[in-house]
Structure 1
């Protein structure tokens, strides 16, 4: 076929879909894909007359959830499509006219129900054949349009900015941390909703996945989720977070990151692998290995931790080897997994809590154990004060949060004769102690982190 009469199309172009009422959508020209596709949410099939139709929603502009166009089109096919990541899935196919510059022609579009596409649309080779030749070195050759012109096209779709819709996914609305986050979000003009983890449930379906709330309300309008999952509901809470993520909702901490942080053994292995220094830690299954396990962490006194411990609960100090052996074997006899960890005597019951948000330490406090306690814990009568951390401690806190892929983390560090050591990382850190000790508005910083991620501004 001669290319003399074909128009030159760039690597990306603006497309117009008048029947779908989409005034402009940026497409990546992809000659490697047979069929064109468009990003679509909330896909629903319905019957009109003797034919199947499909109703769906499109966010035509990348990183802009505020513009949401509801579209309807006749369903022409269902096809199994393999994504670039190798995952096969069934997609609905519609046929509709597309306008590219001066040309208007019918095009088949698969509805891609994922919000992670870099472009809202891919223009495949079926649309290109006989019409265009691709020059990947140029962009917007067929239909140039400035950002100002795009903005004018969508002027009638833009709603008055009244804030984001943010859900706090937790268990107790009366906790200090949860109340502060709700207050901070509302103060910044956002629509804040408290969702009890155990009152939400989900529908798993390739075509129309859902999350519902007690009473049958469908939760489909959130821009972001702030997860604060208590340990007792980690499994279910993380399942909900994954479902929200599948629906295109931004989650401040991912389910994977939370799960990793809650598994103290796995987290310790990740820290060791990434050259993050922790107190010498041991783990064994058989009681036959208890004596060597104790020797391995330099003997008593030593710390014994339940893998599921939190807020200092399930953490025991064994002051003698005999006591350590008794406690360890008692836990093993009831099939409870524990870690054995060296005791840092020189810390004198002090540790440091660094609050990390999006790769930055936003506040730090020093915690002192209550008299008679070996571990600093504000829930057990400990005290807190503001502290200036060292550059090494700052790097350690940031790296620990990064290794676990946590956007928000409470990183606990202990000072030892060997330098700073990482104790653990909390994926749902409390705000009361650190806000009171430092005077910093951590809740507000968490909300602004969401705004930055979603590129939201009231200005």
Structure 2
């Protein structure tokens, strides 16, 4: 009987083939009843009438770039007491364990093990009747090197079914763009960075084309991720529209990006969808300055140039005299302007909710630096994780839908009247929100593309 059992050391390498994990180091712990697997972005869902759970795992310790996206049948929800005495309700899955030359089905709970030394814990329930443990030994079934581990995961990802995805943007060194490229590659897709300024088009009824520097024809792309800077909105959207003409799936459409960049039109669309915004006035070189100021409740108020971008042409007028002065200055330019009430009680704070494919995947609160204010723009300052209310989530999802955006950064301000929507950004940055929440938002964007192609 003893001869039929596997002898394990206190640490061993194993495989979880059904989850797509080719190699993971496990702590073998007969003192722990339940096995556990490191997981982040855990979300239950329905599949063919059954309860499933999807989650992400960084299978290599201290490596956040290697990400495996997993799905498994949900078998239970269970309260588990950790070694530190902390009680946590966890999702429980069943999956096949491949260790040495043996395979069998085990139960595992899903939990964030970032603070632990191992991505996986093999508990006594999974070992019962099959395993003997020699706690003085390690890696009795074989050891692997960091280089071999990276190669194993590189090959596993390369052999998966992938798409040809183009990232249409301006700066390949930007954090957001680098993360999207990494996330796509880690999901096994062929990623290409396409510099907007180096693309040009052939308009033709029969053979429309997009060319890249050197005359390369950009064809056979499955999907495009447009990340267009405000200063090149017109040309970036024209390129996106050309890809759409070639029947390439664009994560955000040219129409959605165009209307989200039009401050007035976007506010009108939001209002038509029943979404509350700060009271706003609009005028072209107004003659009746006093009535325009009174329309939004008087000073303090925000004055914005309609065509302003990245915070340019945005002024906080704290008195009526200051407001008149700013409006008259813009009037001399014959400019279109927005005048908006200033929400004092927000105290320089707003919320950024990141929406991907109709769901809020992350949220932060941003606080302006002393002496700054936040008025439909992001001025820097600090960011902290926050749990948005159901009402705030609903506003964010409705706003993205009103703009027809699959990816959107939705900015909301809390007021005595309730949450008010400030802005919907069609190319939201990832650095601040990924850094604050530790969530793989770039991966969520890639998953949204896969969902369109029904990849698993």
Tell me the TM-score range normalised by the shorter chain: 0.5 to 0.7
Aligned-partner Cα distance in 2 for 1:184–1:377: 29
1:377 deviates by 9.3
Which runs of 5 or more structure 2 residues have no equivalent in the other structure? 1-157
The match for 2:374 is 375
Q: Give 1:290's aligned residue.
A: 289
Query: What CA deviation, in whole Å up to 9, does each residue of 1:232-286 have, x standing for no partner?
Result: 1111111111110010100000010001100010011111222110000000113
| Alignment of structure 1 residues 358-397 onto 2, 5 Å | 358-375=357-374, 380-397=379-396
Task: Check if 1:332 corresponds to 2:331.
Answer: yes
Distance in 1 of aligned mates of 2:432 and 2:160: 34
Residue pairs, 1:27-176, within 5 angstroms: 162-176=161-175
1:207-226 to 2 correspondences below 5 Å: 207-226=206-225
Distance 1:446 1:340 in 2: 35
Question: In 1, Cα distance between the equivalents of 2:425 and 2:380?
Answer: 20
Any unmatched runs of 5+ in structure 1? 1-158
Q: Would the aligned equivalents of 1:378 and 1:433 in 2 still touch at CA under 8 Å? A: no
**Cα shift readout 1:332-378 (whole Å, capped 9, x = no counterpart):** 21133221100000000000000000110000000001011111899
Offset at 1:322?
1.1
**Where does residue 177 of structure 2 map in the other structure?**
178
Aligned to 2:441: 442
**SS of structure 2 residue aligned to 1:206:** coil
Q: Pairwise mapping of residues 346-425 of structure 1 onto structure 2 (< 5 A)? A: 346-375=345-374, 380-425=379-424
Flag the 1:346–1:184 CA change in 2: closer, same or farther, 3 A. Answer: same
1:275-325 Cα distance to aligned partner (Å, 9 max, x none): 110000000113312211111000110011222344433321111111111
In structure 1, what is the equivalent of residue 50 of structure 2?
none
The match for 1:189 is 188
Give 3-state SS (helix, strand or coil) of 1:384's partner.
Answer: strand
2:377 and 2:254 mapped to 1: Cα distance? 27
* Cα distance in 2 between the residues matched to 1:205 and 1:378: 40
Provide the rounded CA distance (Å) in 1 between the counterparts of 2:266 and 2:239. 22
Cα distance change of structure 1 residues 394 and 454 upon mapping to structure 2, 3 Å threshold: same
**1:283 is paired with a residue of what secondary structure?**
strand
Change (3 A) 1:372 1:160: closer
Q: Is residue 171–residue 229 contact of structure 1 (8 Å, CA) maintained in 2?
A: yes
The 3-state SS of whatever aligns with 2:369 is: coil
| Distance in 2, Cα, partners of 1:248 & 1:343 | 44
Normalising by structure 1, we get a TM-score of 0.63
| 2:354–2:410 CA contact under 8 A, matched in 1 | yes
Q: Kindly report structure 1 stretches of 4+ aligned residues shifted beyond 6 Å.
A: 376-379
* In the alignment, structure 1 residue 269 sits paired with structure 2 residue 268: yes
Cα distance in 2 for residues equivalent to 1:451 and 1:313:
37
Matched position secondary structure for 2:307: strand
Contact 1:367–1:376, Cα closer than 8 Å, also in 2: no
Task: Name the SS of the counterpart of 1:207 in structure 2.
Answer: coil
* Equivalent residue, structure 2, for 1:455: 454
- Provide TM-score, normalisation by structure 2: 0.64
Deviation at 1:396, TM superposition (A): 0.4
SS at structure 1 position matched to 2:283: coil
The 3-state SS of whatever aligns with 1:284 is strand
Change (3 A) 1:297 1:377: closer
CA distances 1:45-68 after superposition (whole Å, capped 9, x unpaired): xxxxxxxxxxxxxxxxxxxxxxxx
Cα 1:160–1:390 change in 2 (3 A) is closer
Shift in CA distance, 310/430, structure 1 to aligned 2, threshold 3 Å:
farther
Query: Once the two structures are superposed, what CA deviation does each residue of 1:205-234 show, in whole Å capped at 9, x if it has no partner?
Result: 111110111111000111100000001111
Distance 1:435 1:160, change over 3 A: closer
For the residue of structure 1 that corresponds to 2:284, the secondary structure is coil
Cα distance in 2 for residues equivalent to 1:351 and 1:160:
44
Separation (CA, whole Å) in 2 of partners of 1:167 and 1:417:
44
